[in-house]
Structures are given as C-alpha cells and as structure tokens.
Amino acid sequence: MRDIKNKLITNGCDSLHDREANPLEKKPSCSCSEPSSLKASTRKKYDDQWGDQSEKAASDRRKSLSMVADPLLCMVHPLSNKVVADLGIGTGSLAFRALELCPPKMLIGIDFSSAGLCVSRSISRHTRFRDMDVELVRADLERIPLASRSVDVVLSQATINLLPDKATAMKEIARIAKTGARIAISDAFKTTACSDQGSWEQCVAGAVTVSEFSTLALDAGLIISGQVDLTQQARMLVSAKRWDWPEFLENNMDYRGFLMLRA
C-alpha cells in the first residue's frame, strides 16, 4: 500500500500520515508555491479557528453537518474499493462521514491548514477509523500533489469559494480524476440579491454564481451530471447555530451540491 501511496502523492508536500502526533512542530518544507496574501490571510483564519477546536467539537460538527454531507455523498456511493480525495478536508466533517457510511480503499485528505489536519489526524486514530487507510497532506488546491488520473472519487465541501484561483483548482481536479471519476462538490453560491462585499474567509466575497461555477467546470473538462439544492438544510443549520456561518443568511446565499464526471 505504501508503494501505491508513493505513486499517488507527488510534489513533496507535507504528508502527515507517518509524522509525529503534532504536525505543527518542525514542519518540513513544502515545494508548493507561496500563497498570495489573500490565501495567507485565509489560512491564518482557519489555523486560528481549528487550532482551538477539540476532537469532540470536530466530531459534533460532523454530526451536525451530516444534513448537507449525506446528500452529497449519496451522489458518489458506493465508495468501496475506491481511491477518494477530500479537497479541503479541514477537521474532517465530510471525510469521516464518508468513512462512517461506506469506507473506501483509501481516503486522501488535502488542506492548506496544518491545524485542521492535526485535528483530522487525531480523529483518524479513533477506534472506528484507525484500521482505515487515511492519508493527510498539506497543500494548496491550485497545485494538488496527486498523480494525474489517480483518483476515483473527488469530494469537496464549502472550500472552492475560499480559493483565489478557482479556474486552476478546477483544472487540477480534472487532472487528478480518472476518466469516468465521480466528483461531488458543494458550496455556497451568490444569488442576485447577494452583495459583493463580505468576508472572503467566510465564503462570501469569493463566492460565484451557479452559472459561473458551471462555466468553470466546463472549461476544466468536467461535465455536470446532477445537482441537489441544499439551501434549506444550510439555512436550518445556521439558524439553529449548528453551523457557525451567519454570513450565509446575511447575504441570502444558496447552497448546492454538484455531481460532475471527468470528460
């Protein structure tokens, strides 16, 4: 299995699978290009947020967000015998929900935050997950350190809006996906009532419309084959304070999940 991983994971970015318990200490250098100031400020925001998050809080968040995660995962099931990449894994609310429902052959979680990955790594050691093959990698999604055409399923939840260069990230998703791979992405989307003002770190200022997202997918060589409207579920979670995202309501955003296939 290690030989397979060596072929899949490239570019020399940080792999957390075999490192010490705290990946925030003595981080090895990463060959990924330096992020923009916008990416750096976003990373700092999530490092600060996730650095203070306990494993229990992350597990509670996974349970709360299952309302929006499960419909997305239904689009790509079954995952057994598949290599799955969760792009923007954070503390693992989508990835570990996938492991609970239908464990894949291998799950690779990628995020730019070492703090988020540290929480995910700790959760991966829990009894219910520790025998599953989970690899955690620190990297930017505009330069994904995975081999071309190596992934059967790509997942991403509330992450694309955080990226300054969405077009490059979508092309990277198409590059790592095998022909016929299933790609499930969910995020918040601007509506006509949305303001262009707002926090980039809260998926507002960087949000696109559904039409713009569709164009990004098509330009990357991805075919949208289905979608699910999760706006009401997201609004319910935010209103009940089960999802700390008041900006979603304040900006009257939609939340949707898309199923795409690599052309």
**Residue 196 pLDDT:** 60
Q: To which residue do tokens 């955003």 refer?
A: 253
Q: What is the pLDDT of residues 88-125, one digit of tens each?
A: 999 999 999 999 999 999 999 999 999 999 999 999 99
Which structural domain range is residue 247 located in? 35-262
Q: Which two tokens stand for residue 259?
A: 């199923």
**Residue 194 pLDDT:** 55
* Domain presence at residue 111: yes
Q: Which two tokens stand for residue 119?
A: 């929480």
**Residue 117 pLDDT:** 97
Q: What is the CATH number of the domain that holds 245?
A: 3.40.50.150
**Residue 138 pLDDT:** 97
At residue 17 the predicted structure's pLDDT band, cuts being 50, 70 and 90, is very low
* Domain presence at residue 84: yes
Classify 105 as helix, strand or coil: coil
* Domain presence at residue 27: no
pLDDT surpasses 90 at 63: yes
- Percent of the chain predicted with pLDDT > 70: 85
**Residue 202 pLDDT:** 79
**Residue 32 pLDDT:** 38
- Percent of the chain predicted with pLDDT > 90: 76
* Domain presence at residue 3: no
* Domain presence at residue 5: no
**Backbone torsion region of residue 166, taken as left when φ is above 0, otherwise alpha when ψ lies between -120 and 50, otherwise beta:** alpha
Q: In what order do the strands lie in the sheet with 14-15?
A: 14-15, 134-138, 106-111, 83-87, 151-157, 177-189, 254-262, 222-229
* Domain presence at residue 107: yes
Residue whose C-alpha is closest to residue 83's, from 220, 177, 2: 177
Residue whose C-alpha is closest to residue 114's, from 55, 175, 170, 44: 44
Classify 206 as helix, strand or coil: coil
Task: Determine contact, residues 130/99, Cβ cutoff 8 Å.
Answer: no
* Domain presence at residue 196: yes
Q: What is the pLDDT of residues 205-231, one digit of tens each?
A: 889 999 999 999 999 999 999 999 999
- Mean pLDDT (the chain) is 87
Instruction: Tell me how far CA of residue 5 lies from CA of 10, 12, 55, 242, in angstroms.
Output: 9, 12, 26, 36
* Domain presence at residue 21: no
How many Å apart are CA 188 and CA 109, to the nearest integer?
21
Domain count, the chain: 1
**Residue 26 pLDDT:** 30
Q: What is the pLDDT of residues 18-34, one digit of tens each?
A: 332 232 223 333 333 34
pLDDT surpasses 70 at 12: no
Instruction: Tell me how far CA of residue 25 lies from CA of 17, 52, 63, 239, in angstroms.
Output: 15, 16, 30, 37
Q: Which two tokens stand for residue 68?
A: 């929006």
